Amino acid sequence: MSHLPATLAVALLLGTAPTLTAGGKSTDWPVYLGGKERNLYSPLSQINRENVTELELAWSYDTGHKAEYQANNLIVGGVLYTPTAARQIDALNASTGKRIWRWDPQDEKTGRGRQRQRGLVYWENEQGGERRLLTGVKGHLFAVDPATGKTIREFGQNGSINLGSGLNTPGVIYKDLVIVGGVGGVGAVRAYDVRTGKRRWIFNLIPRPGEFGHDTWPEDAWKTATGVMPWCGQSLDEQRGIVYIATKTAEPDFYGGKRHGMNLFANCVLALDAATGKRIWHFQIVHHDLLDKDLPCPPVLLTVTHGGRKIDAVAQGTKHGLLFVFNRVTGEPLWPIEERPVPQSDLVGEKAWPTQPFPTKPEPLMRQRYTEDDASNISPSTHQLTLDRIRASPNFGPFPAPSLKETIMFPGYDGGMEWGGGAADPDGIYYVNINEMPWILQMIETKRADGAGLARGERDYMTNCSACHGINLKGNPQAGFPPLVDIAKRKPRAEVEKITREGAGRMPAYATMPEDKRQAILDYVLNPKAPPGPEESDKGQPSYAFGGFRRWLDPEGYPAIKPPWGTLNAVDLNTGELKWKVVLGEYAALTKRGIPPTGTENYGGPVVTAGGLLFIGATADETFRAFDRDNGKLLWKTKLPFSGNATPSTYMVNGRQFIVISAGGGKSNRPRGGMLMAFALPE
C-alpha cells in the first residue's frame, strides 16, 4: 500500500510532504476497503496488542452534515479524502485533520446529492503523473483533481458522465478502466475509460435475447425488470484480470409473479474478465429471490490452504448469515453446497423456487430459526409477549414464503452480514460482524380478482393489526387476542381509539402512530364492509405489495429475541471452522439492570492489522473497539460522538500510525452527525 510522496501541489498545500525514510515511513490507504481484494487488511503494526490501550484521540473533524456518514476514507500521500453525506469531497491533512480543500457538487449541474456515500475511487498513472478522484452524485460520475479539488473538465461531458443510476459504493480500477455498479437504473456492470469517461464494456445483469441466462426470465422481462445491480461494490484480482461482482434482488423484491424463473444474474457472485466484461463463472446464492436477500457486501479475496494446497479463494457473505467460499479462478466451491427444499408461497400467481443453496461449511454464523426457545429473556413480561407473538406468527427459517399471513422474518432483512463486509488476514482467517434482529414479513393484497383495490384502512389494518386479530378480524382467543368482528356493537369509537393509543391487555400502545393511519384503521375496523377504493389495473388476478420493513422490537425498543443481538466472528477458511465468536456492543441501561452485554444491531465493517488487532465501530452504543484477532478478547474501547456506522481506515504518516473512522450515527434510531475521528499513540 506504500505510495510515492505527495505531488508538489499537495505538498505546498500541506506545508510539508511525507517522506519514505526509515525514520519517517508513510503507508497509504488508497483503495476503498483497504485494497482491490476488499480484504480490509493492513500490514501496519505500530499499534499492536501490547500498546493499543494507549490509543488517544489525535484529531477530529466535523463535516458539518448530520446524516448517515458511512465513508471508508482514502489516504494518499499524507492527504485524507472523505466523501460527506452531501456528496462533497473534503481533503484533509491526514496528520492534523485540517481541511485543505472542498469539492462541492453544488457548483455542478447535478447540485448536491443525498446521504449514504461509502467511498471514493483514486487513480494515478505514476509514469505520466496523472491523478484523479472519482465520485458519484445523482446518477453522474465526476472526476476531481486530488491536488486542487477542481473538477477535471476533460472527463466525460465537462467533468462527468451520466450513469443513469445512483452510486453509494465506489467502483474499482483495472488499469485505465473504472468498473462500476449502481443502485437501480440500467441493471448492468459497466467499465469506463478513467481518462475520457467513454464506456468500454457493459455486462447486462438481466440478459438480453441470445445472452446466457435469458431463458431464466419470462421472454420480455429484460424490457421491464429492474433492480439487479451490484450496489455493494466489486473486488478485483488484478494479476489475473478478474473482477468479482455481487448482485442485488430483482424488483419488486417480495413478489415475483411477473418474473417467473431463476432470474439470473440476480443474487449472484459473478466473475468477469475485467478487460472485456465477458462472463467467466457465476454462482446464484438465492434463486428467484422473494425476500430482499440481495448480496449485501463485496466479495472478499484471500488465500487459504485447502486439501493440502494453496488456493486463491473468494468469500461471499449473505444477509442470512451464510458464508459461501469458492476457488476464485474456477468457481468451484471449497466445500459442498446443497440444494435444500424451502417453503412455497400461497400467493396467487407466484412460483417460488423449490430449493435454495446451503453451504455445508462454514457453519451458519447466526441462528437460522426463531423458535419458542428464542423468546426474549430480558424481562418476564417481554418473554411472554415475544412468546405470544412467535406462536401467532411463526418463523419458518431463512426462506419463509411471502404470504398474506404475518411471519417473523429471521434472519432479517439487514442481516446477518451487511454492507460493512468482512476482513481477511494472510492466514486465511475471515472476520465479520453479524446482526440478529427479527423483522416482520407480510404481504397485502392491493387488488382483488375483480379488480377492486383495498381501502387504505383495510390495507393499514392488514399491515399493523392482522397478525394478532386475524385477516378476517376473528382474532386468536387461544393466544389472548380478541376478535374485532362487530366491535362497533360492543364498544364506542372513543373507547376503541383510546385502546389503540394507550394499549390494553396484551396489546401495546400505539401512541406514535400517525393520526391519519389510526383513523383509517378505526374506520375499517368499525365498518369493515365499506366498499374498497378502485384500482386502475387489469381484472382477473390479484396483485400484492410488501407490507413494509418493520423491525420486531419489544415494548422497551430492544430486539424482540433472546440475545445476542450482534456478534463479531472469526472463521478459519482453511478448515471451514468457526475460530471464535464474541458479543458486539451493549446497552448501558440493560447492563445496569444486571443483564450481561447483549450485543447491538451493527452497521459498518472491521479492519484487521498485522499488529494482531481487529478494529470496529458499527454498534448502536457509540463505541469504537479493538479486539485481539487471535481470540476475540476486547483490548480497548472509546466513546464516539455518534455511532461509527462505517468501516475504519488505517495509515501511517511520517512514522505515526493512525486509525480513523467516520462517526455519523443515524442507524438503529440513534442520533445523527458527521464527525471524523482519528486515533494514534501518543507522540
| Residue 663 β-bridge partners | 675
pLDDT in tens, 121-137: 999 997 878 999 999 99
C-alpha angle 268-217-319 in degrees, rounded to nearest 5:
30
- Return the pLDDT at 531: 62
- The x, y and z cell numbers of residue 163, run together, are 450513469
Q: How far is CA 635 from the centre of its chain?
A: 27
Residue 637: count other Cβ atoms within 10 Å of its Cβ. 15
- Return the pLDDT at 467: 63
Collapse the DSSP code of 515 into the 3-class scheme (helix H, G, I; strand E, B; otherwise coil) and give the result: helix
Please state, rounded to an integer, the average pLDDT across all residues of the chain.
91
- Return the pLDDT at 113: 84
Split at pLDDT 50, 70, 90, the class of 654 is very high
- The x, y and z cell numbers of residue 95, run together, are 496528520
- Return the pLDDT at 129: 87
- What contacts 202, CB < 8 A, 6 or more positions away? 188, 189, 190, 191, 277
- Return the pLDDT at 305: 98
Of 70-74, 127-131, 243-247, the poorest mean pLDDT is in: 127-131
Q: Report how far residue 284's alpha carbon sits from residue 286's, in angstroms, rounded to the nearest whole number.
A: 6
Q: Report how far residue 554's alpha carbon sits from residue 563's, in angstroms, rounded to the nearest whole number.
A: 13
- The x, y and z cell numbers of residue 76, run together, are 494518499
Give residue limits of the domains in the chain.
1-97+419-438+568-683, 443-551
Omega before residue 252 within 30° of 0, cis: yes
Position 15 pLDDT exceeds 50: no
pLDDT in tens, 352-377: 999 999 999 999 999 999 999 999 99
Q: Report how far residue 495's alpha carbon sits from residue 277's, in angstroms, rounded to the nearest whole number.
A: 64
Position 22 pLDDT exceeds 50: no
pLDDT in tens, 607-634: 999 999 999 999 999 999 999 999 999 9
Position 493 pLDDT exceeds 90: yes
- The x, y and z cell numbers of residue 198, run together, are 467513454
Q: Which of 77, 262, 238, 70 is nearest to 652 (CA)?
A: 77
- Return the pLDDT at 662: 98
Model-level pTM greater than 0.85?
yes
Averaged pLDDT for residues 273-279: 98
Averaged pLDDT for residues 157-177: 95
- The x, y and z cell numbers of residue 519, run together, are 383513523
Position 157 pLDDT exceeds 50: yes
pLDDT in tens, 465-480: 876 787 788 886 655 6
pLDDT in tens, 91-113: 999 999 999 999 999 999 999 98
Whether 455 and 530 have beta carbons less than 8 Å apart is answered as: yes
| 507 against 648, higher pLDDT | 648
- Return the pLDDT at 512: 54
The DSSP output letter for 596 is P
Residue 471: count other Cβ atoms within 10 Å of its Cβ. 17
Split at pLDDT 50, 70, 90, the class of 17 is very low
Asked whether the CA dihedral 349, 247, 669, 420 is positive or negative, the reply is positive
Position 436 pLDDT exceeds 50: yes
pLDDT in tens, 528-549: 876 654 444 445 567 788 888 8
To the nearest 5 percent, what fractions of the chain are helix, strand and coil?
15, 35, 55
Collapse the DSSP code of 97 into the 3-class scheme (helix H, G, I; strand E, B; otherwise coil) and give the result: coil
Q: Report how far residue 532's alpha carbon sits from residue 530's, in angstroms, rounded to the nearest whole number.
A: 6
- Return the pLDDT at 537: 42
- The x, y and z cell numbers of residue 190, run together, are 459497466
Position 26 pLDDT exceeds 90: yes
Q: Report how far residue 300's alpha carbon sits from residue 567's, in angstroms, rounded to the nearest whole number.
A: 19
- What contacts 12, CB < 8 A, 6 or more positions away? none
Q: How far is CA 347 from the centre of its chain?
A: 28
The DSSP output letter for 89 is E
What's the length of the chain? Answer: 683
Q: Report how far residue 163's alpha carbon sits from residue 140's, in angstroms, rounded to the nearest whole number.
A: 5
Position 505 pLDDT exceeds 90: no
Whether 409 and 438 have beta carbons less than 8 Å apart is answered as: yes
Position 163 pLDDT exceeds 50: yes
Q: What Å distances lie between residue 178 and 194, 243, 352, CA to CA?
A: 6, 11, 37
| 635 against 516, higher pLDDT | 635
Q: How far is CA 119 from the centre of its chain?
A: 14
SS3 labels along 630-658: CCCCEEEEEECCCCCCCCCEEEEECCEEE
Q: What Å distances lie between residue 468 and 80, 102, 169, 385, CA to CA?
A: 53, 53, 40, 12
Collapse the DSSP code of 488 into the 3-class scheme (helix H, G, I; strand E, B; otherwise coil) and give the result: helix
- Return the pLDDT at 362: 98
- The x, y and z cell numbers of residue 309, run together, are 494446497
- The x, y and z cell numbers of residue 149, run together, are 479539488
Split at pLDDT 50, 70, 90, the class of 658 is very high
pLDDT in tens, 376-424: 999 999 999 999 999 999 999 999 999 999 999 999 999 999 999 999 9
As a whole number of Å, the end-to-end CA separation of the chain is: 23
What is the percent of the chain where pLDDT is above 70? 90
Averaged pLDDT for residues 174-178: 98
pLDDT in tens, 440-454: 999 988 766 565 666
| 129 against 239, higher pLDDT | 239
What is the CATH architecture of 443-551?
Answer: Orthogonal Bundle (1.10)
